[in-house]
Amino acid sequence: MIEPIPFNLLAVQWREIAEEAGREMAELFVNSAFSSGPYVAAFEHDIAEWLGTPHAIAVNSGTAALHLAMVAAGVRPGDEVLVPAHTFIATIWGVIYAGGTPVLCDVEEATGNIDVADAARRVTGRTTAIVPVHLYGQPAEMGAVAELAARHGLTIVEDNAQSIGARWSGRMLARDDFRFARTLS
């Protein structure tokens, strides 16, 4: 019988941080500071500084981050949003929760990232945004994404959940280089 591969197995990572993180988690529970407050403010400050961006907003999940990014990008009912077919369901949910219609695009065989040429073929008069999902630490081809977005007046919303800290063209992915919405989800 084939053993199933766990969806999430963080035991190794936890062992490396358990002592320090355990103390900090205990302090968080004692102070009952699960949302807002000094811990979240410190996290937002530290992550923004590390990414080299002026602001970061912490939310409760990647789904919430993507929903918020879609709303911030102005996605409304009837709008189409280009998304890669190979992604986590939260990418699609973010579009749907904002009222938009996800339009699935092929992905590059070598990276699993959005195939920009296929995305270009799927642009219609209702397309308002494109979501490059940076997978496995590999950035999508942001030059091509930015060119497609500029050509059609699309907003770019990056889903960076699986590639935080990755760089494209020498810069952190979540920097404000192209003037578009970003989410680390």
Quote the CA–CA distance of 57 and 43 in Å, as a whole number: 9
pLDDT at 176: 45
% of the chain surpassing 70 pLDDT: 94
Q: Which residue has the higher pLDDT, 183 or 18?
A: 18
Domain that holds residue 164: 62-183
pLDDT digits 0-9 by tens, 58-115: 898 889 999 999 999 999 999 999 999 999 999 999 999 999 999 999 999 999 999 9
Q: Is 38 a domain residue?
A: no
Q: What distance in Å separates the CA atoms of residue 61 and residue 179, rounded to the nearest whole number?
A: 23
CATH code, domain with 134 = 3.40.640.10
Q: Looking at the domain assignment, is residue 16 inside a domain?
A: no
Ranges 48-52, 129-133, 145-149, 154-158: which has the least confidence? 48-52
**According to the model, what pLDDT value does residue 174 have?**
62
Whether the per-residue pLDDT at 177 is higher than 70: the answer is: no
Residue of higher predicted confidence among 173 and 46: 46
Q: What is the mean pLDDT of the chain?
A: 88
Report d(CA 85, CA 92) in Å as an integer: 9
The predicted pLDDT at position 148 comes to: 96
Range with the poorest average pLDDT among 55-59, 82-86, 118-122: 55-59
What are the tokens at 32? 């009952």
| 24: in domain | no
Instruction: Please check whether residue 137 is in contact with residue 166, taking contact to mean a CB–CB distance below 8 angstroms.
Output: yes
Read off the pLDDT of each residue in 16-28 and give the average, rounded to a whole number: 90
Q: Does 9 reside within a domain?
A: no
Q: How many domains does the chain have?
A: 1
pLDDT of residue 12: 86
Does 88 map to a domain? yes
Would you say residue 177 lies in a domain?
yes
Is 103 among the domain residues? Answer: yes
Q: Is the pLDDT of residue 184 over 70?
A: no
Flag whether 21 is in a domain: no
Six-digit token pair at 44? 């937002």
